[in-house]
Structure 1
């Protein structure tokens, strides 16, 4: 980690430093908990780096999940047109608007708060979001990411900070040992890549794991398939439920039998002896297109 990342940025009074974060937390009676995946970023240089890496533009409408005490939120407000923060914690959600007004009063009208579980959010106030930038709670990072990409197709660019191992899985390519369900499902929506590493000492409390940045740029065109997302994801889930099995065996339950699975795989141009970790998202979509029709029930 560079010296710049380790030393708090003193150039802007608007952004939160380590002392500010601790003072805010103490005033609110907040003690970060593992249960909620709370690790607050205490380094202004790090949040600026995240915003820069995300390529946030002056016309962007950014949605942030898990803003916490507002470290990243303030940096996003410096760069974007509007920011909508989704926060589940009652105390943090109540305090964030006051922090924005105190530190960046000129931008308060361009900030909106949604006090909710991100997994339950169906709509957001204001213009449709164009970007998602967030330090995601590590315990729900993947489902939150996939849910936001599904429900808000206007999100074109995403940069999330997640546990390093999760970042590896999201960005993994077919054939990798860590390629799996998150890799395929994220790739259904976007081109995915690792975008950097974040050390432990920029957080309070310091986590026991390293963190990574993941960049996702939504596909210009959806995966060309007649199968729905739900149908494709059902194949993905089945294929990785038993990683060591061949697809012929792993997809037997999905298809109705091993023979039916083999027929679907052959029709899709995929070897029944292949394994899920070798397939692209396009190949999973091809399998989904060839799911056997359900056997007709005998007449009573």
Structure 2
């Protein structure tokens, strides 16, 4: 660990006032103002000295400093120019050695390159875009092998849900393409400023050692997943009829060829079954 001073509630409010920053629902901003909470997140993520970590939406820097405290190097992706321009100064003021932090001012939804091929993702994700941002990073940065993200409880439970669960859906199946996901902690509403009206959880992931399939297979599989859950109460032979040959009969033939019961519903299938459907339909070539 390095001698880094973490931010408290008074520091967060002082910095926000200095920058004329008011947390907004549009950007899904809720700043963590409790040092014990950010240390808990970093400990849960098993961040080690010299590891390369990427953080999405560092905000005023409370979680960033806790990662840097472990001696890791951090690439912080921040869309707000005011926050991005202040973060390096805050880190220096709090005792972070020069060169340990890189700030990238960019929209996390569209960023395509990161310096240093980060290994670990640690983030307090904006509530309004948490799933698409997370899937974008998993798709775009294969160097990410594990991580812990803080998200709205409902979103986290969906990401970690297993087939057959009522909350299992498109985010669950798509996340599983990249690896395994599980709930690893809860976070009190009271550690945020402003206090949100929803609960938060920590979700941990481990990327699979080998990719599940090619880019074409992933895109085809994700399309099948989306269609299956757009009409989740329908049997797959109906929900996928337009995509798989134009009729329930043709869809049934393809589903059977994939080893899937035509009368099943999307919520009962794991990502491997969705992939087999895409392959059987010839969509993954």
Taking the TM superposition and a 5 Å limit, the aligned residue runs for 1:1-300 are: 14-106=5-97, 108-125=98-115, 127-223=116-212, 228-257=217-246, 258-291=248-281
Runs of 4+ in 1 over 4 A off after TM superposition: 224-227
Spell out, residue by residue over 1:127-166, the C-alpha distance to the aligned partner (whole angstroms, 9 max, x if none). 2110000000000000000000100000001110000000
CA distance in structure 2 between the aligned counterparts of 1:70 and 1:52, rounded to whole angstroms: 17
Equivalent residue of 2:5, what SS?
coil
Equivalent residue of 1:123, what SS?
coil
Spell out, residue by residue over 1:256-294, the C-alpha distance to the aligned partner (whole angstroms, 9 max, x if none). 32222111100011100000000011111111101158x
- Conserved in 2, the CA contact under 8 Å of 1:158 and 1:216? yes
CA distance in structure 2 between the aligned counterparts of 1:52 and 1:226, rounded to whole angstroms: 33
Distance verdict in 2 for CA 1:210–1:255, change over 3 Å: same
CA distance in structure 2 between the aligned counterparts of 1:80 and 1:194, rounded to whole angstroms: 26
- TM-score normalised according to structure 1 size: 0.90
- Conserved in 1, the CA contact under 8 Å of 2:237 and 2:252? yes
Equivalent residue of 2:242, what SS?
helix
| Structure 1 gaps, min length 5 | 1-11, 294-300
CA distance in structure 2 between the aligned counterparts of 1:42 and 1:242, rounded to whole angstroms: 41
The answer to which of 112-121 and 215-224 deviates more is: 215-224
- TM-score normalised according to structure 2 size: 0.95
CA distance in structure 2 between the aligned counterparts of 1:181 and 1:226, rounded to whole angstroms: 18
Equivalent residue of 2:182, what SS?
strand
Q: CA deviation at 1:91?
A: 1.1
- Conserved in 1, the CA contact under 8 Å of 2:124 and 2:151? yes
Distance verdict in 2 for CA 1:261–1:80, change over 3 Å: farther
| Structure 2 gaps, min length 5 | none
Equivalent residue of 2:277, what SS?
helix
CA distance in structure 1 between the aligned counterparts of 2:65 and 2:17, rounded to whole angstroms: 20
CA distance in structure 1 between the aligned counterparts of 2:23 and 2:51, rounded to whole angstroms: 30
* Count of aligned positions: 280
Q: CA deviation at 1:226?
A: 10
Q: CA deviation at 1:192?
A: 0.5
Question: C-alpha root-mean-square deviation of aligned residues, in Å?
Answer: 1.5
* Larger Cα-atom Rg: 1
Spell out, residue by residue over 1:96-121, the C-alpha distance to the aligned partner (whole angstroms, 9 max, x if none). 11101111242x31110110100111
Distance verdict in 2 for CA 1:292–1:82, change over 3 Å: closer
Equivalent residue of 1:253, what SS?
coil
